[in-house]
Amino acid sequence: MTGNHQPPRVGDIEYELGYPIPGHILPPEQWASTAVHRLPESEALDFQKLFGRQSPVVLDIGCGNGRFVVTSAVRRPEVDHLGIDILPVVIRYATRRGRQRGLHNTRFAVSGGAEFLRRYIPRGSLAEIHIYHPQPYQNPAVKHLRLLTPDFFELVHNALRPSGQLYLQSDNAAYWQYLQQSVSQLMNWQEVTTAWPDDPHGRSRREIIASSQGLPIFRSCSTRREDLSDEQISAIVRDLPPPDFAASPQRNRTGWTRASKSRPARRKRS
Ligand SMILES: C[S@@+](CC[C@H](N)C(=O)[O-])C[C@H]1O[C@@H](n2cnc3c(N)ncnc32)[C@H](O)[C@@H]1O
């Protein structure tokens, strides 16, 4: 067993925030190569070449330290998993976790989500896209950094195979409202109102932290709409608003904000 600060040893189960990350640390001769150090110059990824087989491919965008990808890859060895994040340091953690568990069905790369979908994902090729807790960016000066935009939804629709699934999750109510209204135009929107049965404590690091703070967690699992032509999709995307919502600090059930635990959130006077 390891805590956060001890280097894992062979046979260990790694714990993070009090919960195990599935899989055991294997001896080095059984480790897997999980880093995509260099993305192709111009062409899309060839999944068969990348994973050495033909299997359904799942992508986690903004995968952070890789908890969801690693967990899913351990539980679904028949499925290939790609995790990407814009931050190199978290990809280093994720890559190591997949490597030391011998997860040949995982690959991790440093990339922005929109760029990755646009440049590297063949059209109609992904079985699932997962996005857990995209940053809401509460400071209006940086709201242009929000990942989930109308153009991004179009990229998601194009990347998914027929009946492909989009998993979304957030602990920010304003972001969620925006997603409900926008994504439901292109996908068969389906909210998930209970914790994930496979991981009731949380599928990702951020979900575990948000739950422990008593924040509401919003979840959905939607399937790609098949009744839309490319022209109809473009028209829907043109009409969707940009993600300009005011992302106020998240409030937990007692009305305390995440930004300040020392005072309750101010209530509007009625
Ligand atoms: C709040 S964290 C959530 C991480 C993980 N999904 C989880 O739930 O624990 C948001 C993650 O999105 C990544 N991110 C932010 N903008 C991104 C972008 N444009 N493309 C890909 N990843 C991005 C951040 O680096 C960060 O790791």
User: Is residue 249 one of the residues assigned to a domain?
Assistant: no
Helix (H) or strand (E) segment spanning residue 219 = strand 218-224
The number of the ligand 1 atom at minimal distance from the alpha carbon of 90 is 27
Number of domains in the chain: 1
- pLDDT in the model for residue 130: 98
Indicate if ligand 1 lies below 6 Å from the C-beta of 146.
no
- pLDDT in the model for residue 264: 32
User: Is residue 247 one of the residues assigned to a domain?
Assistant: no
User: Is residue 8 one of the residues assigned to a domain?
Assistant: no
The CA 148 to ligand 1 mean position distance, Å, reads 11
What are the tens digits of pLDDT across the range 138-148?
A: 998 999 999 99
User: Is residue 75 one of the residues assigned to a domain?
Assistant: yes
- pLDDT in the model for residue 259: 42
The CA 144 to ligand 1 mean position distance, Å, reads 15
Indicate if ligand 1 lies below 6 Å from the C-beta of 147.
yes
The stretches in the chain having pLDDT less than 70 are: 1-5, 250-270
> Which residue lies with its CA nearest to atom 4 of ligand 1?
64
What is the phi/psi pair of residue 267, to 5°?
-95, 140
Indicate if ligand 1 lies below 6 Å from the C-beta of 113.
yes
User: Is residue 156 one of the residues assigned to a domain?
Assistant: yes
Indicate if ligand 1 lies below 6 Å from the C-beta of 118.
no
Q: Residue-wise over 254-264: b if at least 16 C-beta within 10 A, else e?
A: eebbbeeeeee
User: Is residue 35 one of the residues assigned to a domain?
Assistant: yes
- pLDDT in the model for residue 144: 94
Contacts of 61 (CB under 8 A, 6+ apart): 84, 113, 116, 117, 129, 130, 131, 147
Which residue is it, tokens 């007692």? 254
- pLDDT in the model for residue 261: 36
The number of the ligand 1 atom at minimal distance from the alpha carbon of 206 is 9
How far is it, in rounded angstroms, from Cα 162 to Cα 51?
Answer: 22
- pLDDT in the model for residue 41: 86
Range of the domain at 123: 14-239
The CA 102 to ligand 1 mean position distance, Å, reads 24
How far is it, in rounded angstroms, from Cα 126 to Cα 82?
Answer: 10
Indicate if ligand 1 lies below 6 Å from the C-beta of 116.
no
DSSP state of 257: B
User: Is residue 103 one of the residues assigned to a domain?
Assistant: yes
User: Given ligand 1 and candidates 21, 147, 148, 205, which is best to mutate, with the most ligand atoms within 8 Å of its CB?
Assistant: 147
- pLDDT in the model for residue 251: 65
* Nearest partner of 159 among 47, 30, 17, judged by Cα: 47
CATH of the domain at 186: 3.40.50.150
Q: Are 125 and 53 in contact (CB under 8 A)?
A: no
User: Is residue 230 one of the residues assigned to a domain?
Assistant: yes
